[in-house]
Structure 1
Amino acid sequence: MGIKDQFQDKAERMQQQGKQRAEQAKGQMQGRNRRRDDDEMDPSRREAEDRHSQDYDA
């Protein structure tokens, strides 16, 4: 395997890793946005969760 082939293989691997990281970040942002939307639509649920976490901490 020549240096050119090694470089090309490494570039392809890095490109694939970049795509995977971008997909993971996109999934995380969608999850955060979905949770934020749920909280905005149901404030009583958020209050109940806050109270539960306070009780659990005590």
Structure 2
Amino acid sequence: MGIADQFKDKAQELADQAKQKAGQGKDQAQDRASDARNRDQEHGSDASTGLRDRAQDAKDQARERFDR
């Protein structure tokens, strides 16, 4: 096996690992989204409204700090 073949093999291995990790990340994101939907259903719409309010407050604070 030549050096070129070793680099091709390594590149393919890294590409395969990247695809696998991307798939795992997607699965984890779907799990978190599902968990969040379940929490929202358990706690009603107040939970999602509270999260939106907290996000808006954080956004406003960041904007105020940036404007200084």
Tell me the TM-score normalised to structure 2 length: 0.63
Equivalence map 1:1-58=2 (5 Å): 1-43=2-44, 45-46=46-47, 49=50, 53=53, 56=57
Once the two structures are aligned, what percentage of the paired residues are identical?
11
Match of 2:65 in 1: none
- CA distance in 1: counterparts of 2:38 and 2:25, whole angstroms: 20
Of 10-19 and 41-50, the range deviating more from structure 2 = 41-50
Consecutive unaligned residues in structure 2, runs of 5 or more: 61-68
The count of aligned residue pairs is 55
- CA distance in 2: counterparts of 1:47 and 1:4, whole angstroms: 53
- CA distance in 2: counterparts of 1:41 and 1:31, whole angstroms: 15
Tell me the TM-score normalised to structure 1 length: 0.71
- Post-superposition, which runs of at least 4 consecutive aligned residues in structure 1 deviate over 2 A? 44-48
Measured on the aligned residues, the alpha-carbon RMSD in Å equals 2.5
